[in-house]
Amino acid sequence: MIMPATEEEKQFIISRAAVTAKESTGSAMEISQEKAEGLLEAALYSGASFYVTRGDVGQLTGWILLGKQMDFITGKPVGFMFELYVLPPYRKKGLGKLLIQEGVSILKARGYEEVRFNVYTANPAKEMYSRLGFKELQTIMYI
């Protein structure tokens, strides 16, 4: 079961913003802590909130940041997963799947018909998302 993050957990998560952003993008470039925090703060300011998983003795094991975004083509709001992260010692134990499934349930309970998130090509969790039923919506290309 996932639970809302405590204030202390939020501060810990935000303190790791650059690490989690770099890891999720698979980027060789450095991402500044300030820039990474700014992305999280923008989502939090717009009403997003962190939910966490905790281990047997209450330690933080992973988190998801849930909120909403507007689909600028259709004009409808969609549930959005801004960030998903499982701390390295707790990976390969089903926590990512749990965070996604319960995150989707929370967003659907809030009335969103559709749930979206961005995933970088280099993110190894991309396969898991497909197994959970997510489909590609768009591709951003660059040169």
| Assigned domain for 137 exists | no
Full-prediction pTM beyond 0.95?
Answer: no
| Assigned domain for 143 exists | no
pLDDT tens-digit map of 97-122? 999 999 999 999 999 999 998 887 77
Rounded Cα–Cα distance for residues 60 and 63 (Å): 8
Average pLDDT taken over every residue of the chain: 90
Q: Contact 63/13 with Cβ under 8 angstroms?
A: yes
pLDDT at 27: 65
CATH number at residue 81: 3.40.630.30
Residues contacting residue 34 through CB under 8 Å, at least 6 positions apart: none
Q: Which tops the pLDDT comparison, 20 or 45?
A: 45
| Assigned domain for 100 exists | yes
| Assigned domain for 61 exists | yes
pLDDT tens-digit map of 24-64? 777 666 788 999 999 899 999 999 999 999 999 999 999 99
| Assigned domain for 72 exists | yes
In this prediction, what percent of the chain has a pLDDT beyond 70? 97
Q: Which residue range(s) make up the domain with 17?
A: 3-131
Rounded Cα–Cα distance for residues 81 and 46 (Å): 13
